[in-house]
Amino acid sequence: MATEVKNGSPTAEQIAEADKYKEQANEYFKNKIYDKAIELYSKAIELDPNNAVYYANRSLANLRTELFGYALNDAVKAVKADPGYLKGYYRRAAAHMSLGKFKLALADFEIVSKRRPNDSDAKKKFVECNKIVKKIAFERAIAVDRPEKTLAEMYQSLDSISIEDDYNGPKLKDDETVTIEFMKELMQWYKDQKKLHKKFAYKILYDIDSYLRKQPSLVDISIPDEGKFTICGDIHGQFYDLLNIFEKNGLPSETNPYLFNGDFVDRGSFSVECIFTLFGFKLLYPNHFYMSRGNHESVNMNQMYGFTGEVTAKYNSTMADMFTQVFNFLPLSHVLNNKVLVCHGGLFSSDDVMLDDLRKIERNRQPPEEGLMCELLWSDPQAQNGRAPSKRGVGCQFGPDVTENFLKKNNLEYVVRSHEVKDMGYEIAHDGKCITVFSAPNYCDTMGNKGAYINLKGKDMKPSFEVFDAVPHPNVKPMMYANSLMNLIM
């Protein structure tokens, strides 16, 4: 058992024991068992708290599990422990990038490139990050001078697109929206790794934008006593697993309603197929198919984790801009039968939040770094009472007492959220009053987790859990379209 160093320097025996923990942690890391690796790096740090390598290694493991706040803290400690250890700066840059703080990341890459002027790898990372910073600055500059076009205006300029004679995929008539026949054909078309014609892709985006603009930030849903209702968590571009959910649980319909709880895109390399399938069903069954915004329905996340690159590769940058506008109008939360709040992230840093406050949120924007909208998208539950700074660096962590207080004030029974990988695809916390559901099995082809979805009936709103494994998919790796710099530093 590790003996924590309280004062002074560790003994030779403690240093040796810490190194053994590090070696064990490295093996778990290589095998992508990141939680165990983090646990063992932590034991090494207890024994030798001034070793920059241990902090840097734990930082990378936290990055792989999307704990960006923890990763940043560890990187800062690595730099403090040894200002000459350059991996500490790399880890800090990676954490800053994951949080969308590109200028801060650039400063770290600049430090490394100056200290290693002949290191081509360091120079490459600095150049790539500098490109991102300049691109963002340029886009902001032209946005000031150029009024943003609405999606309707964009669509009108694309309306005359012709359909090639050899295109034999799913089609929509000019005066109609999607049908069940179109959706079945579309899913098979995508399953065969074919692309929906851009004319129809644009039409789906225009139609969904027109619909979502009229929706509130919090949507109330009524479920009949004997009616089944399904809640799915993160999909993250895993199209073939999405098809498996429909295979197991039935296609969406007026008698088989669904709510997909955010993070439809990014990381998985079939995000285009996922989002058009989900948008199609939303158009087909607007009162029986629901979608909540997740933290990955945002520009920074999409640019870093693949969706923008995928849309640009499969279509063009104009369509990527259109998605940005559409995502801004996705509802932020849902309430089922006045009893259950469903949101992507979690609860709040304030004790006085009411459902009417969520209804009043102005959501047509990129997620801010604080406030109700941010916390709905980013927060996570914790086991202990009270609140703590977010392990992700955004939002907050909230305990059982926070959940209890919120539910009591708003006359609700429990909260359903997503946002976190769980080994069994779901987790019940806070005395059954905070449920996590995650629907991307074997996340990123590495995590080995199950996927899950929740079924409930209106008469009692009691959740039941359906757990499933990942299914095979074409040989296209996750993060295929992610920003090249992310692959260099992660």
User: 422 and 436 in contact (C-beta within 8 Å)?
Assistant: yes
Q: Looking at residues 343-371, what average pLDDT do you find?
A: 96
CA distances from 261 to 29, 166, 451, 454 (A): 30, 37, 14, 11
Asked if residue 119 is part of any domain, the answer here is yes
Q: What is the pLDDT of residues 83-100, one digit of tens each?
A: 999 999 999 998 998 888
Asked if residue 1 is part of any domain, the answer here is no
Mode of pairing for the β-strands spanning 340-343 and 333-336: antiparallel
Q: Positive or negative, the Cα torsion across 274, 184, 214, 414?
A: negative
Tokens of 117: 């002027």
Whether residues 137 and 160 share a domain: the answer is no
Q: What is the pLDDT of residues 42-84, one digit of tens each?
A: 999 999 999 999 999 999 999 988 899 999 999 999 999 999 9
Domain that holds residue 159: 152-489
Asked if residue 350 is part of any domain, the answer here is yes
CA distance 291 to 167: 30
Whether residues 54 and 190 share a domain: the answer is no
This prediction's pTM: 0.91
Asked if residue 234 is part of any domain, the answer here is yes
Whether residues 196 and 115 share a domain: the answer is no
Asked if residue 2 is part of any domain, the answer here is no
* Higher-pLDDT residue of 69, 137: 69
With tokens 């030798």, the residue in question is 48
Whether residues 81 and 176 share a domain: the answer is no
pLDDT above 90: percentage of residues in the chain: 79
Under the banding of pLDDT at 50, 70 and 90, the label for residue 450 is very high
CA distance 180 to 489: 44
Asked if residue 147 is part of any domain, the answer here is no
Whether residues 124 and 220 share a domain: the answer is no
Asked if residue 6 is part of any domain, the answer here is no
CA distance 263 to 419: 8
Under the banding of pLDDT at 50, 70 and 90, the label for residue 487 is low
Radius of gyration, CA atoms only, the chain: 23
Tokens of 274: 């996922």
Q: Looking at residues 223-234, what average pLDDT do you find?
A: 96
Whether residues 166 and 305 share a domain: the answer is yes
Whether residues 32 and 169 share a domain: the answer is no
Whether residues 158 and 215 share a domain: the answer is yes
Report whether pLDDT(191) > 70: yes
Report whether pLDDT(203) > 80: yes
Query: Which pLDDT score is estimated for 122?
Result: 82
Report whether pLDDT(139) > 80: no
Whether residues 279 and 396 share a domain: the answer is yes
Report whether pLDDT(4) > 70: no
Q: What is the pLDDT of residues 108-125, one digit of tens each?
A: 999 988 998 888 888 888
Query: Which pLDDT score is estimated for 129?
Result: 87
Query: Which pLDDT score is estimated for 345?
Result: 97
Asked if residue 3 is part of any domain, the answer here is no
Query: Which pLDDT score is estimated for 159?
Result: 66
Burial of residue 9 (CB within 10 Å: 0-12, 13-18, 19+) is exposed
3-class secondary structure, 413: coil
The CATH number assigned to the domain holding 70 equals: 1.25.40.10
Q: What is the pLDDT of residues 275-307, one digit of tens each?
A: 999 999 999 999 999 999 999 999 989 988 999
Whether residues 175 and 245 share a domain: the answer is yes
Catalytic residue among 296, 334, 419, 473: 296
Query: Which DSSP helix (H) or strand (E) runs through 456?
Result: strand 451-457
Whether residues 220 and 302 share a domain: the answer is yes
User: 297 and 262 in contact (C-beta within 8 Å)?
Assistant: yes
Under the banding of pLDDT at 50, 70 and 90, the label for residue 490 is low
- The number of folded domains in the chain is 2
Burial of residue 143 (CB within 10 Å: 0-12, 13-18, 19+) is exposed
Q: Looking at residues 209-222, what average pLDDT do you find?
A: 96
φ, ψ of residue 178 to 5 degrees: the values are -70, 155
User: 313 and 481 in contact (C-beta within 8 Å)?
Assistant: yes
CA distance 322 to 259: 23
The CATH number assigned to the domain holding 329 equals: 3.60.21.10
Under the banding of pLDDT at 50, 70 and 90, the label for residue 433 is very high
Tokens of 83: 């200002």
Q: What is the pLDDT of residues 308-342, one digit of tens each?
A: 999 999 999 989 999 999 999 999 999 999 999 99
User: 239 and 277 in contact (C-beta within 8 Å)?
Assistant: yes
Under the banding of pLDDT at 50, 70 and 90, the label for residue 367 is very high
Q: What is the DSSP letter of 438?
A: B
Whether residues 353 and 428 share a domain: the answer is yes
φ, ψ of residue 473 to 5 degrees: the values are -140, 165
User: 238 and 468 in contact (C-beta within 8 Å)?
Assistant: no
Q: What is the DSSP string of 282-325?
A: HHH-TTTEEE---TTSSHHHHHHHSHHHHHHHHS-HHHHHHHHH
Active site residue 236: no
With tokens 């669509």, the residue in question is 155
CA distances from 65 to 233, 299, 471 (A): 17, 21, 22
Q: What is the DSSP string of 115-184?
A: H-TT-HHHHHHHHHHHHHHHHHHHHHHHHHHSPPPPHHHHHHHHTT----TT--S----TT----HHHHH
3-class secondary structure, 333: strand
Under the banding of pLDDT at 50, 70 and 90, the label for residue 153 is confident
